[in-house]
């Protein structure tokens, strides 16, 4: 905390401490109104707390709440040996709904718009992921392939590394990594960086090696342990983010994408 905090800033801080969600749910003007101070007071408060401005402060609050909520869910929503099928249904569904709601809060509108434009202008999309994250990358690949956007993906790491080594500045690399620490993905991102290829990373909302390397980061909740036995809610968040990127791209290129989706529709045999 830097410098003297006035009475108005103190009052705003007390409101925020009582209900941190008020920061997530409101822009600076709406927050100022709800805590009975001016927007300038909110700006001064964030500066005194060591942030560049309200946007950075809001991201920090989001991070802390995501960490806290993740720990709370680990305690309350963990699957137990004696859970009934009804309890498992309720716990799993509740966890996934909360993850989607937190993802909605974490996604920065301006950053999504920047990523959408990058994808639209790219010569080729190069997809990267390992394990469960590869399944998400393959989902993205199929979506963009449907609208005739040139894409590359491979299942084994060596092939992914070659895709990274052969990237061009006119391409865009899309990485899916929950931890942001997968060694194979870091090596691919290093190759992408050497080739000056723009990169988009979908990862958990926490500091990581890959988040520091990527040009654009789209965050999902840090809702699972890094030593989880299977990606569950994290996969839902990643798929949702891919859906948002694809839908934003398709909307920005509406007529063309609609025509492509119609022309690439595969008729199903109802007898099978």
pLDDT tens for each residue of 134-181: 999 999 999 999 999 999 999 999 999 999 999 999 999 999 999 999
- Do 75 and 170 have their domain in common? no
- Do 27 and 123 have their domain in common? no
Whole-number pLDDT of residue 41: 92
- Do 29 and 126 have their domain in common? no
pLDDT tens figures, 82-137? 888 998 888 888 888 888 888 888 888 899 999 999 999 999 999 999 999 999 99
Classify residue 75 by burial, with Cβ atoms within 10 Å: 0-12, 13-18, 19+.
exposed
- Do 69 and 143 have their domain in common? no
In a domain, 1, yes or no: no
The set of long-range contacts for 190-197, using a CB threshold of 8 Å and a minimum separation of 24, is: 191/161, 191/164, 191/165, 191/167, 192/126, 192/164, 192/167, 195/164, 195/165, 195/167, 195/168, 195/169, 196/169, 197/126, 197/167, 197/168, 197/169, 197/171, 197/172, 197/173
- Domain with residue 33: its CATH number is 1.10.10.10
What b/e string do you get for 116-125 counting C-beta neighbours within 10 Å, with b at 16 or more? bebbeebebb
Question: Would you say how long the chain is, in residues?
Answer: 272
Which residue shows structure tokens 């989001």? 62
pLDDT tens figures, 195-243? 999 999 999 888 899 999 999 999 988 766 544 445 677 889 999 999 9
Whole-number pLDDT of residue 258: 93
Arithmetic mean of pLDDT, 50-66: 80
In a domain, 93, yes or no: no
Last residue of a domain, one of 67, 82, 97: 82
pLDDT tens figures, 181-193? 999 999 999 999 9
Separation CA 266–CA 261 (nearest Å): 10
Whole-number pLDDT of residue 48: 87
In a domain, 88, yes or no: no
Residue 188 contacts residue 158 (beta carbons within 8 Å): no
pLDDT tens figures, 20-50? 889 888 889 999 999 999 999 999 898 888 8
In a domain, 165, yes or no: yes
- Do 46 and 135 have their domain in common? no
Last residue of a domain, one of 47, 82, 117: 82
pLDDT tens figures, 251-260? 999 999 999 9
In a domain, 142, yes or no: yes
In a domain, 115, yes or no: yes
Of 12 and 232, the one with more pLDDT: 12
Backbone angles phi, psi at 219, to 5 degrees: -95, 145
In a domain, 91, yes or no: no
- Do 71 and 146 have their domain in common? no
Number of domains within the chain: 2
- Do 163 and 244 have their domain in common? yes
Whole-number pLDDT of residue 229: 45
Is residue 3 over pLDDT 90? no
Residue 116 has which token pair? Answer: 């959408």
Residue 178 has which token pair? Answer: 């929950």
Host domain of residue 37: 7-82
- Do 142 and 14 have their domain in common? no
In a domain, 270, yes or no: no
- Do 65 and 147 have their domain in common? no
- Do 123 and 243 have their domain in common? yes
- Do 26 and 148 have their domain in common? no
pTM of the model: 0.78
- Do 144 and 203 have their domain in common? yes
């Amino acid at each position: 905390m830097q410098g003297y905090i006035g009475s108005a800033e103190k009052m705003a801080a007390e409101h925020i401490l009582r209900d941190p969600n008020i920061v997530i749910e409101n822009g600076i003007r709406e927050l100022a109104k709800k805590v009975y101070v001016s927007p300038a007071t909110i700006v001064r408060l964030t500066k005194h707390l060591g942030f560049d401005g309200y946007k950075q402060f809001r991201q920090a609050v989001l991070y802390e709440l995501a960490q806290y909520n993740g720990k709370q869910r680990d305690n309350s929503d963990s699957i137990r040996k004696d859970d009934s099928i009804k309890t498992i249904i309720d716990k799993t569904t509740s966890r996934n709904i909360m993850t989607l709601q937190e993802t909605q809060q974490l996604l920065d509108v301006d950053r999504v718009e920047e990523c959408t434009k990058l994808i639209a202008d790219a010569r080729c999309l190069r997809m990267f992921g390992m394990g469960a994250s590869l399944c998400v990358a393959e989902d993205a690949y199929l979506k963009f392939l449907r609208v005739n956007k040139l894409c590359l993906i491979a299942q084994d790491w060596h092939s992914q590394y070659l895709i990274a080594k052969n990237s061009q500045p006119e391409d865009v690399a899309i990485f899916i990594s929950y931890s942001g620490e997968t060694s194979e993905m870091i090596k691919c991102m290093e190759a992408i960086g050497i080739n000056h290829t723009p990169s988009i990373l979908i990862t958990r909302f926490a500091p990581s090696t890959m988040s520091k390397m990527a040009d654009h980061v789209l965050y999902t909740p840090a809702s699972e342990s890094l030593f989880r036995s299977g990606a569950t809610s994290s996969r839902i968040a990643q798929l949702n983010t891919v859906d948002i990127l694809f839908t934003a791209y398709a909307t920005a290129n509406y007529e063309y994408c609609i025509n492509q989706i119609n022309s690439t529709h595969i008729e199903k045999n109802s007898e099978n």
